[in-house]
Structure 1
Amino acid sequence: MSTFERYLTLWVFLCIVAGVALGSLAPSVFHAIAGLEVARVNLPVAVLIWLMIVPMLVKIDFAALREVGRHWRGISVTLFVNWAVKPFSMALLGWLFIGYLFRPYLPADQIDSYIAGLILLAAAPCTAMVFVWSNLTKGEPHFTLSQVALNDAIMIVAFAPIVGLLLGLSAITVPWDTLILSVALYIVVPVIAAQVIRARLLKTGGEAALARFLGVLQPLSLVALLATLVLLFAFQGEQILAQPLVIALLAVPILIQVYFNSGLAYLLNRMSGEAHCVAGPSALIGASNFFELAVAAAISLFGFNSGAALATVVGVLIEVPVMLSVVWIVNRSQGWYEARGARVSEAPR
């Protein structure tokens, strides 16, 4: 993990401060930026989101799908947690905490929007940072790569239906045209573009060319993320200043969701007899969120000023510290994990 990534939470906090300050000092500038839309898609944000997502997707080798059968236990557990548990558990936690327990402390007109943001956050598993978390747990690299490739393939067809179903159950009007456009713009097209770029780089310069490309674009990807956050908080500034507890309250269901889903995946892998080097990344992939996609979809569906956009950003704020805590738990518990019949971890190749 680079120094920049290690201190991502700090940079996000600084973006909050900068965004709120700039939004207060120059509101007309940010309103002008918000007006640069085509079919409800904000053009500056679309460019920033692409800069965030494409470098991450270039890392994914869909040829790794042929490795899926080698670790079928871990793959099965992760798919179950990612697609059958995580979005629904987050919706339940959103309804419980945001819709009921915390309702008196939150702006009444944003309750449904906050829940929608939490659903968007949980509806797609992470595609990039999980490689960092897997490495920190000495995870089996072939498993991690094949699992991420499979999740990306599923996300193309499953993201919109799951989001639409859960938003519908929450009695939130689903703008299907905008949702489908978001899936096309922020999943389908970036996946195709990234794979074309990857194939061309490998054909012309091999792995060295791919590494150079990622070395240039990866920092740019993080800068684009932070620039997007500044824009978001420039529009959310008044609401945050008026309700300073909003971010802390939104963090509660996200934290519970992460620990619940990572723990579930870890235990199911142990029960199935899977090796620890697979169970570790499985737990982390099972708990992680594709927050770049969530932020983009929330802006497209509900706008810059929405509670949905703010809720997805809270996921970015706590991503690094909470996932590092899961890494620590996985590493510290390896002896316990392997004590009752689970296969001893193989050294990553």
Structure 2
Amino acid sequence: MTDTHAGVVGKLSTLDRFLPVWIAAAMVAGLLAGRWVPGLNTALSAVQVDGISLPIALGLLVMMYPVLAKVRYDRLGSVTRDRRLLWPSLVLNWLVGPALMFALAWLLLPDLPEYRTGLIIVGLARCIAMVIIWNDLACGDREAAAVLVALNSVFQVIAFGLLGWFYLSVLPGWLGLPQAGLAVSGWQIAKSVLIFLGIPLLAGYLTRRLGERAKGRTWYESKFLPKIGPAALYGLLFTIVVLFALQGDQITARPLDVVRIAVPLLVYFGLMWAGSYAFGKAVGLSYERTTTLAFTAAGNNFELAIAVAIATFGATSGQALAGVVGPLIEVPVLVALVYVSLALRRRFTPAPVEVTP
């Protein structure tokens, strides 16, 4: 372990430092609960928010709020002026990501059309939720993450349905491959964005503005933020438990199918993160913004992918299972990449320290 990496990890709380252990425990707890507690799946799915189980929706909102409350919204202008960050992010998210997932799905699942379609849908749904957590844990640029997530949200509303039509119907037709359809409306996507990004973003913005106005920035960042910070990881762990509990039966009943779905996902997350990270370093981005670019490109909006798959193909479909396996693979992989990113930090020139007014 490098001195830089050791120093960063040493500053983490016990909760942060042993995050992989807590996540593994949350996965096991969810699987066992879903397998052994009668009626749990039905109870968790009984109430939904935009096609997502209410407990998962609440977990996501709790998870995102503290991180978005940490964003210094008065610094967003410096991010929007950085074209080395914005344009590569758009290209990676909306051209490279969907194309790579399409290629991997067809190469590795040619005999499993339902799972293949589910993975393509996952590739089309760019991340707007958990990436906030991974970026923060890896000491990325919070303001850059907020801007890129907001940008992805706008493009998601505009482009998701069009790209779904292209990758499931038009491109397979050109290549002489079987085609599929996708029933999704722009309003359905907009609702997902408004709920899972709009609510915590507005709450975070108002919290900072009102908190700084009442007590000042020093109090807000040294006293208030440390109190609400742990809620983000509690929300993450709760979400993971519920996710695994909802799909415990399917995962344990069809382990070979889960493995088949997991292989292209592992390749996808690794290639997207490593390629984006290398690109950010090559064009001279700071460690913080390179990290943000890599995690926003590698992550996916699983809540939207699952909702679309269920609405179009049904809750028990192979497409829905592929959507659910997405975050089950993404979570441990991106947690591991948080530590890889921290270990690579020494390869960057330290960014200038900003004096807080």
Query: Which residue of structure 2 aligns with residue 81 of structure 1?
Result: 88
Q: 1:310 aligns with which of 325, 331, 334?
A: 325
Residue 243 of structure 1 corresponds to which residue in structure 2? Answer: 255
Q: 5+ unaligned residues in a row in structure 2: which ranges?
A: 1-11, 169-180
Structure 1 CA distance for aligned equivalents of residues 74 and 251 of structure 2: 45
Q: How does 1:23-62 map to 2 (within 5 A)?
A: 23-37=34-48, 40-62=51-73
Structure 1 23/127 Cα, relative in aligned 2: closer, same or farther at 3 Å?
closer
Contact 2:50 2:192 in 1 (8 A): no
2:87 aligned partner, one-letter code: F
For 1:126, the equivalent position in structure 2 comes to: 131
Question: Equivalences for 1:316-327 in 2 at 5 Å?
Answer: 316-327=331-342
Contact 1:201/1:210 (<8 A) preserved: no
Which whole-Å CA distance do the structure 2 matches of 1:149 and 1:38 have between them?
Answer: 23
Bigger CA drift: 246-255 or 227-236?
246-255
- 1-side partners of 2:299 and 2:225: how far apart? 17
Judge conservation of contact 1:133–1:323 (CA < 8 Å) in 2: yes
Deviates more, 1:294-303 or 1:201-210: 294-303
1:179 is the counterpart of 2:186: no
Task: Note the aligned Cα RMSD (angstroms).
Answer: 2.9
Residues in 2 aligned to 1:145 and 1:228: alpha-carbon distance in whole angstroms: 22
1:188 aligns with 2:195: no
Matched residue, 1:117: 122
1:262-273 mapped onto 2 (5 Å cutoff):
262-269=277-284
Please show how residues 140-151 of structure 1 align to structure 2 within 5 Å.
144-151=141-148
- Partner Cα separation in structure 1 for residue 22 and residue 263 of structure 2: 18
Where 1:127 maps in the other structure, the secondary structure is helix
1:91-240 maps to which residues of 2 (within 5 A)? Answer: 91-104=98-111, 108-122=113-127, 126-134=131-139, 144-171=141-168, 173-176=182-185, 177-207=187-217, 208-240=219-251
- Structure 1's 201 and 123: CA in aligned 2 closer, same or farther, altered over 3 A? closer
8 Å contact from structure 1 (residues 9, 318) kept in 2: no
Q: State the 1:147 CA deviation.
A: 2.5
Residue 279 in 1 paired to residue 289 in 2? no
Contact 2:272 2:298 (C-alpha < 8 Å) held by counterparts:
no
Tell me what 2:346 maps to. 331
Q: Is the 8 A contact 2:60 2:129 kept in 1?
A: no
Identity %: 19
Query: Match of 2:71, SS?
Result: coil
Shift of 1:122: 4.9
Find out whether 1:294 has 2:294 as its counterpart: no
Q: Is the 8 A contact 2:134 2:334 kept in 1?
A: no
Deviations 1:292-314 (A, max 9, x none): 98233334333576221321332
Shift of 1:259: 0.3
Of the structure 1 ranges 183-192 and 163-172, higher mean CA displacement relative to structure 2 is found in: 163-172
**TM-aligned CA deviation for residue 202 of structure 1:** 1.3
